[in-house]
Each structure stands twice: as C-alpha cells, then as structure tokens.
Chain A
Amino acid sequence: EVQLVESGGGLVQPGRSMKLSCAASGFTFSNYGMAWVRQAPTKGLEWVATISYDGSSTYYRDSVKGRFTISRDNAKSTLYLQMNSLRSEDTATYYCTSHSGYYFDYWGQGVMVTVSS
C-alpha cells in the first residue's frame, strides 16, 4: 500500500523558514517524480513544485521561485520542501504527492503551515 506521511508543519512568523518532509513507502520511491500541492483554508488546490525521479530536474510555480526548494533523498525515500521568506499567503495545508509529471497519483494526509505573527 502506498503511504506518504508529511511532517514539519506548524506556526511560523512571516519572513522565517520552515522545512517539510514526506516519508514514502509501499512503492519504489526512486522511480517516481514527486510534488508538493497546497490548499489554503477553504480554498482550491495549487501546485507548488515538482522534482524528477532522480532529483536532476525541479520546477516551481512563479510565486515560490527563489524562496522554496524541493529536494529528495532516494536512499531514505523522503521528499523535502525548504520554505524560506515565508509570507501570509503561503498559509495552507501542504500535500506530498507522487507525480509522473502529469497527474498526481497518490497523496499524503497533508501538513498545515500557518504563517502569522
């Protein structure tokens, strides 16, 4: 069974940093692209970033470019999202997903990030 378990969320002040992690199991992590998708409270879904299966390619939405970094450790089957210079508009539930570069096959349970002073 595919499992994606996010961690690392919480309350953070504007301008500070936070790092999210996603532990994967139940599939061959190193064969799959991965992504982060977020959902602001009572809002829709928004793609944030994607990383290729081997980490050689990364893609970001414009609003997080230069602030967020997606990375992975295939030996640990873990995905990361380093978020710097956080803004109030980054407040959302962040989901880890498997991503072939097309649709999002499997989703974690999500982790809440609240940016507020």
Chain B
Amino acid sequence: DIQMTQSPASLSASLGETVTIECRASEDIYNGLAWYQQKPGKSPQLLIYNANSLHTGVPSRFSGSGSGTQYSLKINSLQSEDVASYFCQQYYDYPTFGGGTKLELK
C-alpha cells in the first residue's frame, strides 16, 4: 500500500492568514492526489483532484500543488467557514488517505 503522511496534524491560524498543509507519499503517485474538507459532524467534501484541479463550486482561495511524492494544499485569506479537518488521498494505487489536519482559528 502507498502510505500518505500529512503534516501538520493540527494547525491554528488567524482570519485572513494563508495556511499550507503538506502531504507526502511513500512513492511517486504521478499527481494522482485529491484533497477533502470535512467540517465537524459532516461528511467529507472534495476540494481538489489531480493535485491542482479545483472541484466544482470550491472557492478559488483553495489551491493545490506538487508532484512526485510531495503535495500541498494552500488556503489563502482564511475564512471562519474553513475551520475543518483536511485529508489528502492518493489514487495512483488502491486509495489511501493521509491522517488528516485539523484546522482551527487562533
């Protein structure tokens, strides 16, 4: 199985700040990476696919980048509604997820 390591596990940031979440794969996943947002008590929602493509309806302050084994999710100008957990997922092989990053407001 391809292992996905996310960092940090938790993050505290202020409104308007830019935050970055990292995801490292145990081998090259050739941009087969998605990011999901899960708000408290809700189901996950797709944000980004193919490492850098924005899913329908997702605000443009979210962006994804990376290649090979290293990927990141950036949130520009943090909003209160962005408080959530974020997960990466590779789909180069059978799907596996990162452990998640819990984002809170400072």
Contacts and interface: CB of A to CB of B under 8 A. Distances in A.
B45 A103 contact: no
A107 interface: yes
Interface residues of A, number: 18
Given A44-B87, A95-B44, A108-B43, A103 B94 contact: no
A37 B38 CA distance: 14
Interface residues of B, number: 20
Q: Is the interface of A mostly helix, strand, loop or mixed?
A: strand
A101 B36 CA distance: 16
B71 interface: no
Interface in A68-93: none
Interface of B: 32, 34, 36, 42-46, 49, 55, 87, 89, 91, 94-100
Interface of A: 37, 44-47, 59, 61, 95, 101-110
Q: Please give me the 10 A-B residue pairs with the lowest Cβ-Cβ distance, nearest first.
A: A103-B34, A47-B95, A107-B43, A45-B97, A102-B91, A103-B49, A44-B100, A44-B99, A110-B43, A109-B43
6 contacts: A37-B44, A44-B97, A44-B99, A45-B97, A46-B97, A105-B55
